[in-house]
Amino acid sequence: MRGRWGWFGLLWCLIGTTQAEALVAVAGNFMAPARELVALFERSSGESVKLSSGSTGSLYAQILHGAPYDVFLAASEREPAQLVAEGEAVSESRYIYALGRLVVWSADPQRVRADCAAVLRALDYRRLAIANPELAPYGAAALAVFESLGIRDQVRPRLLRGENVVQAFQFVATRNAELGVVAQAQVARLPRKRAGSACVVDPAYYPPIRQQAVLLRRASDNATARAFMTFLRGDAARALISRYGYGVGDD
């Protein structure tokens, strides 16, 4: 198995990236701002960055199996720290690039009219979408909210779990679930016709979602990957991240 993944990683590396570009693994909640950030970076630097999205847990597993990513933009602190401990990432590169926030969202513009605690405690919904808590930090944070509100057992049979927070959002957008606990960034910049209704979950109800970036060991000499990491710490990148509804942590 390790040999097969090793050859797969080598082939992907040869056909997919060069030292003049970088391949960035991005947690699903951050894909929209990541696209804008890459566009800004490429215009200013003349270099190329490619994005690949998924749940943090899935991307972490891919990295361990040899997927040739250069930078990992995770939705948590845990996986980047584990990659450093396992010798797969550069320790001094790890930092918090965004502080995630939860919302309760409905595609129905009339559905969410109270604070989030009241909306969730009402239990007047058949399906509530969340990300898979075993793979996605936003899903684990949603479970923490239910626990804090004392409704975890009542909510459990109503849950519709997506592989990641992007799929959870899609369940709500397609009205397969009346409500979803998703990332604020996913609804912060929706066009009016698709905005639906939402409330911001009180951060006291869940542990902080500290999203960390890390340079992977295989990219130690990749100048584009290092330049992109430096760009993410700059004022223009931080302002864009903030516009999507994230907090911006200190280095």
Q: Same domain for 52 and 118? A: no
pLDDT in tens, 190-225: 888 888 999 999 999 999 999 999 999 999 999 999
The CA–CA distances, whole Å, from 127 to 156, 161, 234 equal 10, 10, 41
Q: Same domain for 90 and 111? A: no
Give CA torsion, residues 105, 107, 111, 117, to 10 deg.
-10
Is the pLDDT at 129 greater than 50, yes or no? Answer: yes
- What CATH number has the domain bearing residue 144? 3.40.190.10
Residue 248 lies in a domain: no
Q: Same domain for 70 and 130? A: no
Q: Same domain for 40 and 125? A: no
Residue 250 lies in a domain: no
Strand order in the sheet with 179-183: 159-162, 128-131, 179-183, 102-106, 197-200
Q: Same domain for 82 and 139? A: no
Among 183, 200, 217, identify where a domain stops: 200
HEC readout, the chain: CHHHHHHHHHHHHHHHCCCCEEEEEEEHHHHHHHHHHHHHHHHHHCCEEEEEEECHHHHHHHHHCCCCCCEEECCCCHHHHHHHHCCCECHHHCEEEEEECEEEEECCCCCCCCCHHHHHHCCCCCCEEEECCCCCHHHHHHHHHHHHHCCHHHHHHHEEEECCHHHHHHHHHCCCCCEEEEEHHHHHCCCHHHCCEEEECCHHHCCCEEEEEEEEHHHCCCHHHHHHHHHHCCHHHHHHHHHCCCECCCC
Q: Same domain for 192 and 142? A: yes
Cα–Cα dist 80/215, whole Å: 9
Cα–Cα dist 216/222, whole Å: 10
Q: Same domain for 117 and 160? A: yes
Cα–Cα dist 60/72, whole Å: 9
pLDDT value of residue 201: 96
Work out how many domains the chain is built from and give that number.
2
pLDDT value of residue 1: 46
Q: Same domain for 17 and 107? A: no
pLDDT in tens, 87-116: 999 999 999 999 999 999 999 999 998 899
Q: Same domain for 111 and 185? A: yes
Q: Same domain for 72 and 21? A: yes
Residue 8 lies in a domain: yes
* pLDDT cut 90: percent of the chain above it: 80
Residue 249 lies in a domain: no
pLDDT value of residue 10: 45
List Cβ neighbours of 75 (8 Å cut-off, separation of 6 or more): 27, 28, 29, 30, 55, 56, 100, 136, 137, 138, 165, 209, 211
Residue 94 lies in a domain: yes
- Report pTM: 0.82
List Cβ neighbours of 14 (8 Å cut-off, separation of 6 or more): none
Residue 251 lies in a domain: no
Q: Return the bridge partners of 183, or none.
A: 102
pLDDT value of residue 135: 84
pLDDT value of residue 19: 52
Q: Same domain for 119 and 42? A: no
User: Residue 144 — very low, low, confident or very high, per pLDDT cuts 50/70/90?
Assistant: very high
pLDDT value of residue 97: 96
Residue range of the domain that includes 7: 2-99+209-243
Residue 237 lies in a domain: yes
The CA–CA distances, whole Å, from 16 to 57, 70, 144 equal 22, 12, 39
pLDDT value of residue 7: 44
Q: Same domain for 50 and 115? A: no
pLDDT in tens, 6-54: 444 444 444 444 457 899 999 989 999 999 999 999 999 999 999 999 8
Helices 137-149 and 165-173: crossing angle in degrees, nearest 10, is 70
